[in-house]
Structure formats: structure tokens, C-alpha cells
Amino acid sequence: MTGRSLAGSRTLRAFRHRNYRLFFGGQLVSLIGTWMQTLAQAWLILKLTGDPFMLGLASAFQWLPILVLGLFAGIVADTLPKRPTLIVTQVVMMALAAILGILVWTEAVEVWMILAIALLLGVANAVDMPVRQAFAAEMVGRDDVANAVALNSAMFNTARIVGPALGGLFITAFGLALAFLLNAASFLAVIVGLLLMRDEELLAPPLLPRPRSAREVGTNLAEGLRYVRATPLVLMATLVVGLVSTFSMNFNVLVPPYARDILGQDADGLGFLMAAMGVGSVLAALLLARAARPSPWAIVGGALLAGLAEMATGFARAYPVGLGLMFLVGLGAIGMAATANTTIQIAVPNALRGRVMAIYTTVFAGSTPIGGLFAGLVASAWGVPAALAIGGAIAVVTGLLGMAWLRRLPSPGPVEPGAIEAS
């Protein structure tokens, strides 16, 4: 199907843009590799240490740079051309995956090495995430950005289905090293896609002048923070996603020991649990892609659904039940996160997009060090089922508070471009 014929499809309308098609295809291949590595890294740490807390520590190392550097990376996103910046971050992450694969292949890997590589990967991600989020609008324009964000989420979660399932099978058949090496190779797809894009078809806004002093950096950061604080719907979306992602979405820490110790599964069983969550996530993303404009009620509704399913997972002891509940967790979590992302992308002025998206990615992904340690500590002290139940309960409470907040806003219906202004 050509890009022109896709223009008539409401669900796939962002595909009419050639640059976006290149981006989508490359990212899909790369993210399948990333999810394979995520599964392999968790299984490797569990194999070396047997302690859920170490999974939380590795997660903290990988996401701490986003918490520390995320807001400053927003300035990078608004001052540097996004396509070349993304090429650099992808090359760095490819090299780190290859190094880890070689260490595992030669049986030289130790836990401290995994933590060091996770920290360096986090630094690269701290720059990559806000730039990649803001790049969506440059590829498709404001009219199609909501559809592009939803399709990005569908792509991410399709990789979440395929990557862990393949990773689990490959690990069982060939060992851990292959998953890391395949991930390194997968970055070539996104790098080639970025190189093939046409600059003249990108809708890039004028770049922000580079700050020359610490004071100018502070001024630029404050401008983005003021916008979020003064825009009630954007602030609500950011806080709900931040709280739920911090305390309730620590599945890379909790699902590996849940699969092994509670459900009695091996790496392939873990892979299919993560894939089940991915199936629910893809369904949520496709439903959002069909919608003309996002409804903010999907943010709080998604938080409630994900929280209730996660609480139930803490009590589940049968593998098929666990698969079904993980499907519902994915459906709710991505319904929440993708709607929040789209709401912010549509609302934010072009000149502020990089900084505001950096705030969103900082609270969404940068909260992982806190959440990973929290989940790991609770799991080590009271067990994985308790950690799942507590995380789910926090998501439910957050969803209820967000619902009360929405009811106080004037007619929080579907979001339209330019309809949300800072007050």
C-alpha cells in the first residue's frame, strides 16, 4: 500500500508522510531488539544474583540520567536539529548493546559491568527521548501528530509483543548473548531510516538560540515549566502519568521474579507474559489512532484499569490468568500514557515542544529509578505479589484523584489543536 493510498485511512493517516514511514519501519525493527535486550538483561541479573532488588537497582541506573538530565535535554531538543541528533544517540546505543553482548558471549560479564552500561545507556536515552518525541510533529505536522503519537505507541507495543517472545525463545535455545547482539544489529534499521529522510519535507520550526550561560539555561527551563504549571489539563496529564509510572509500572523489576517464583515459568514463559501486556498495549494504541482527537478521560480511565488489573495480578497464581491480567494492564497503561502524550503534543506551541516533552519524558521515564528501587525494596521485603498489589492500588487512587480533577475543569472534551492555552 502506498503512502498516497494510506491518506484515506483514518487509522493510518500519518503514513502518507514518507519521512514518517521511514521512521516507523526503522523504529519497529530497533524496538524489537530493545525489548529482546530488556528481557535478556533482567534474566541475566536474576541469574547472577537471584535478588529482585538488583533488578530495581539496574533499572535505577538505566533511568537515573533521564531524571537528572531530562529537563536539560529538552533544551537540546529545541536548539539542535533533531534528525542528526537522533542518529548520534542511536549509534551510541548500538555500541553499548554490542559491548554487553560481547561480555556475555565471552562469559566475562559481572553485575557492575551491567550497571555501568545501563548508566551510559540512560545518558543516551536522556537526550534521545525528548528529541524523538518532539520529532513526530516535524515529520507529520500538527494536524496528524495525534495519529502519529498513537501509531508510535502501537509500534512500540508491537515490539513489546514480538521482542520478549523472540527473546525468551532465543535465550532458551541459544543463550543470552544472542539477544544483546541482535539488539545491536537492529539499530542499523533506524539509522538507515533517518539517513534516507528528506530534510525539505520536515516541518522543522526555527531552532531556539543556544544558551550561552547558566542563567540562559535556567530561563529556558523555567519557560517550559511555567507552561505546564499554567495549563491545567497538561499539568493533570503530566502528574497522573508521573505518579502511575513511578509506583505502578515497574514490570521490568517485578514480572521476571513473578514469572519464575510465583508462576514457575522459564525465560520463554516470561517472554509471553510481557508479550501479553504488549497485545493489550497495541489494542489501546490502535483505538486511539482511530480517534479524531484524544479524550482526556482516557488518561484517568487507563490509570484505573491498569491499577485494578495489576492488583489482581498480585493474587493470581495460574499462568493463563496472569496472561489475561497482563493484557489488561497493557490496555490501561497505554490508554493512559498515549492519550497524555497526544494531549500535550497538540497543546504545546512549536517553540516550546522540546522542553515540554522533556518534562513529560522526565516524569514518565525519569521516575523509573525511584519506582524501580521502590518496587525492588517492597518485593524483597514482602514479596512480589505484595509489590504488585501495592503498585496497582496507587494507580487506582491516582486515577480517582485525576477523575475528580477533570470534573472541576470546564468541559474537558476531545482536545483540539490550539484549544489548550496557558492561563
Whether residue 61 has pLDDT greater than 50: yes
Report CA-CA distances (Å) from 161 to 45, 107, 164, 188, 384: 22, 29, 6, 21, 23
Whether residue 10 has pLDDT greater than 70: no
Sequence spans of domains, the chain: 9-197+213-408
Whether residue 360 has pLDDT greater than 60: yes
pLDDT for 207: 72
Q: Dihedrals φ, ψ of 367, to 5°? A: -75, -10
pLDDT for 419: 41
pLDDT tens digits for range 82-102: 899 999 999 999 999 999 999
pLDDT for 1: 45
pLDDT for 214: 65
At 416, the pLDDT band (50, 70, 90 cuts) reads: very low
At 421, the pLDDT band (50, 70, 90 cuts) reads: very low
pLDDT for 339: 86
**Long-range contacts of range 264-269, CB-CB < 8 Å, 24 or more positions apart?**
264/319, 265/319, 266/168, 266/172, 267/39, 267/43, 267/167, 267/168, 267/171, 267/172, 268/168, 268/169, 268/171, 268/172, 269/168, 269/319
Average pLDDT of the residues in 364-369: 70
Highest-pLDDT range among 66-70, 170-174, 309-313: 309-313
Mean pLDDT taken over the chain: 83
At 210, the pLDDT band (50, 70, 90 cuts) reads: low
Residues 420, 234 contacting (CB under 8 angstroms):
yes
pLDDT tens digits for range 251-292: 878 888 888 888 888 877 887 888 888 888 888 878 877 766
Residues 294, 343 contacting (CB under 8 angstroms):
yes
Please give the Cα distance from 365 to 66 (Å, whole number).
7
pLDDT tens digits for range 282-336: 888 788 777 667 788 889 999 999 999 999 998 988 999 999 999 999 899 888 9
At 226, the pLDDT band (50, 70, 90 cuts) reads: confident
Average pLDDT of the residues in 230-257: 86
Please give the Cα distance from 246 to 267 (Å, whole number).
26
CA 302-308-311 angle, to 5 degrees, is 135
pLDDT for 126: 85
Please give the Cα distance from 394 to 274 (Å, whole number).
21
Whether residue 420 has pLDDT greater than 60: no
What secondary structure does DSSP assign to 162-175, as a single string?
A: HHHHHHHHHHHHH-
Q: Dihedrals φ, ψ of 295, to 5°? A: -105, 125
Whether residue 423 has pLDDT greater than 50: no
Average pLDDT of the residues in 61-90: 82
Residues 335, 369 contacting (CB under 8 angstroms):
no
pLDDT for 101: 94
Please give the Cα distance from 124 to 296 (Å, whole number).
31
The alpha carbon of residue 180 and the mean position of all alpha carbons in its chain are separated, in whole angstroms, by: 19
Q: Which residue has the higher pLDDT, 269 or 192?
A: 192
pLDDT for 183: 94
Name, in order, each residue with C-beta under 8 angstroms of 359's C-beta and a sequence gap of 6 or more.
Answer: 70, 71, 74, 224, 225, 228, 238
At 26, the pLDDT band (50, 70, 90 cuts) reads: very high
CATH architecture for segment(s) 9-197+213-408 = Up-down Bundle (1.20)
Percent of the chain with pLDDT over 70: 90
pLDDT for 374: 85
The distance between the two most distant Cα atoms of the chain, rounded to a whole number of Å, is 61
